[in-house]
Amino acid sequence: MQASVGDRLLVHGRIVGQHDRTAEIIEVLGENGTPPYRVRFEDGHETLMNPGPDTVVRHFSAEE
């Protein structure tokens, strides 16, 4: 997995009824865009993440 600052991580809910969550990458701590990432969720919570298989990178586009 590779990502850049400004990209978003979409974390799929793992159990029935759990909603997907979106987090913005605010810092890349691995080499060449690899995890871990410092992220900020929509509710303002910040944490370090090593995304698992339930996570998808949504790359930032200057056109958005």
Cα distance between residue 61 and residue 64, in whole Å: 6
Joined tokens for residue 52: 């698992």
- pLDDT at 62 > cutoff 80: no
9-56 residue pLDDT tens: 999 987 888 789 999 999 999 999 999 999 999 999 999 999 999 999
pTM attached to this predicted model: 0.84
Q: What pLDDT score does 13 carry?
A: 82
Q: What pLDDT score does 63 carry?
A: 45
CA 9 from centroid of its chain's CA atoms = 3
Joined tokens for residue 63: 């056109």
